Structure 1
Amino acid sequence: MNIPATGRRVLVSGASRGLGRAVARAFAANGDRVAVHYGSRQDEACRTLESLAGTGHVLVGGDLSDPAEAARIAGAAAGELGGIDVLVNNAAVNLPHPLADTSYEDWSALWQRHVSVNLVATANLSHLAARRMIEAGTGGRIVNIGSRGAFRGEPDHPAYGATKAAVHALGQSLAVSLAPYGIGVASVAPGFFDTERVAHRLSGAEGEAIRAQSPFGRVASAEEIAAAVLWLASPVAEWSSGAVLDLNGASYLRT
């Protein structure tokens, strides 16, 4: 299989801001062409697109929780880029729903939302991208954005933790099934990292407590996570297929 080191066609879901934006920038700086996907934040996605190094990048919008929309999004990205060599499944929701304080109606609706976006959309987009990689016959990479919460638990966000654990398991299943086609599949499991969405939590006592989770006394940057994603998608990372890479600054150690 001939997977290039640069000049790849890369689809990044949920790339309007935060980690998705950092991942898109990392691939663009590497010389790849990126399809920047967004769900509803078109203005922010346009800013991501405008910030990318190089040329040939495209914008694709739509609701990945709708299977028909997911197919349209993958088709649009592949059409604009001329194919898909790398898929980064970053799009996700993470809405609080502690059991003791959440009505059954809200609980049920939020679980459905997390499953449809975090898990089913990831599975659908993986199918859509992988089938194109198989047809092209040149291999490829899929990198899933999981979470430390899949291992240590998320008491206020249980559906998020559960769906991210499922994403890790999905990635390992796909790693086995897609290896004969030269397609590597891996996941990252970040701990807390700094983005505009969570910046308000990093001030005061809460911020001190969050930084104290790691013996480094800080949280990660989105760029640090993106660098690991870029490596996992590289030609030299084939033997990491099936891995779930912890990126949490030794804040949680699995056995």
Structure 2
Amino acid sequence: MNFQNKTVLITGASGGIGRTTAIAFATAGARVALHYGQRQESAQQIRESLPGEGHGLVQADLADAIAVEQMVSEAIAQLGHIDILVNNAGVYQEHPLDQTSYSDWQTVWQQTLNVNLLGAANITYCVARHMIERRSGRIVNVSSRGAFRGEPNATAYGASKAGLNALGQSLAQHLAPYNIGVMTVAPGFVETDMAREVLDSPRGDSVRQQSPLNRVARPEEVAHTILFLAADESLFLTGGIVDVNGASYLR
């Protein structure tokens, strides 16, 4: 896949899937703007390690709508334009209903939806308006198998990802006349820092055994799928949701 002369904004690019996706796009010739929330040093190190030149760095609290708008404007200023948006940033907090106070329940739901769904919706709005003017673009959302399989201990996370799926499919229909594709990748567990605590715990083996491959996904496998969906030749996949879960959950 060749992304020469393409520009990409990736949210949550300071680690995990975002970091690996940034490296993959840059290796394929793209210029990348890496968004981070708080991990500035990590994001800077990743930018400095990317092959090629002209990569950018932008910061925003995705729960802050004004900060999101400013961040997108800064990314456009650094890159000149945005061809591809990857909505990768997300938060995960366990809050089992039978063990969580009502006030904590409210807090976790608000925080999770503000980042995973409303943050992604606001970024998509700002970038899509820019893409509409250019009558071209790709938006790839990073969802989760939890949107389909359920997240019994993190219900807000599962609901936010289900909402992200619906957002992507609705916008795929709305933005198609502008030659803008909106696709979604839905991984299961991935070898990232976010999943490390679970994978290294006594639960780790049972998690890996959920897949007949007896492992979880590597970040590179998710990044490869994101690049495939963002490619010029993949426009007719708009509205699609691609599972990357090693057959651990089939729908």
Q: How many Å apart are 1:9 and its aligned residue?
A: 1.1
Gaps of 5+ in 1: none
**Secondary structure in 2 matching 1:188:** strand
Distance in 2 between the 1:246 and 1:45 partners?
27
- SS of alignment partner, residue 110 of structure 2: helix
The 8 Å contact of residues 189 and 195 in structure 2, kept in 1 or not, is answered as no
Cα distance, 1:98 vs. partner?
0.7
- Where does residue 105 of structure 2 map in the other structure? 107
2:27 and 2:228 map into 1 onto residues whose CA distance is 13
Equivalent residue in structure 2 for 1:222, among 201, 219, 223: 219
- What code does the residue aligned with 2:85 have? L
Q: Provide the residue aligned with 2:66 in structure 1.
A: 68
The offset of 1:46, in angstroms, is: 1.1
TM-score, normalised to structure 2, is 0.97
Q: What does residue 10 of structure 1 align with?
A: 8
Q: Distance in 1 between matches of 2:14 and 2:204?
A: 25
1:204 Cα deviation (Å)?
A: 5.4
Q: Percent identity?
A: 51
**What is the match of residue 198 of structure 1?**
195
Picking from 145, 163, 172, the partner of 1:148 is 145
CA distance in 2, matches of 1:251, 1:237: 25
**1:206 Cα deviation (Å)?**
1.5
Equivalent residue letter for 1:66: D
CA distance in 1, matches of 2:59, 2:91: 16
1:52 shift after superposition: 1.1
Map of 2:39 onto structure 1: 41
Mapped pair 1:171 → 2:168: yes
Please give the per-residue CA displacement for 1:214-237, whole angstroms capped at 9, x wherever unaligned: 000111101100000011000010
Equivalent of residue 231 in structure 1, options 211, 215, 228: 228
Distance in 2 separating the partners of 1:227 and 1:38? 21
Q: Structure 1 residue 196: deviation in Å? A: 2.4
SS at 2:239 equivalent:
coil
Partners of 2:176 and 2:4 lie apart in 1 by 21
C-alpha separation between the residues in 2 aligned to 1:67 and 1:200?
31
Distance in 1 between residues matched to 2:232 and 2:182, nearest whole Å:
12
8 Å Cα contact 1:5/1:235 also seen in 2: no
Amino acid at match of 1:206: R
In the alignment, the residues of structure 1 paired with residue 47 and residue 94 of structure 2 have an alpha-carbon distance, to the nearest angstrom, of 30
CA 1:111 to 1:204, structure 2 compared with 1: closer, same or farther past 3 Å? closer
SS of corresponding position for 1:198 = helix
Distance (whole Å) between structure 2 residues aligned to residue 174 and residue 68 of structure 1? 22
Say which of 195, 206, 230 aligns to 1:209: 206
Deviation sequence 1:162-205 (CA, Å, 0-9, x none): 00000000000000000000000000110011012322322353
| CA distance, structure 1, for counterparts of residue 108 and residue 206 of structure 2 | 27
Query: 2:122 is aligned with what amino acid?
Result: N
Q: Partners of 2:158 and 2:150 in 1: how far apart?
A: 6
Alignment check: 8 A CA contact 1:97 1:157 kept = yes
Task: State how far apart, in whole Å, the 2-side matches of 1:200 and 1:117 are.
Answer: 22
In the TM superposition, what is the alpha-carbon distance from 1:51 to its structure 2 partner?
A: 2.0
1:249: how far off? Answer: 0.2
| Stretches of structure 2 lacking an aligned partner (at least 5 in a row) | none
What is the count of residue pairs matched by the alignment? Answer: 250
Which residue, out of 95, 99, 122, partners 2:120? Answer: 122
Counterpart code for 1:125: I
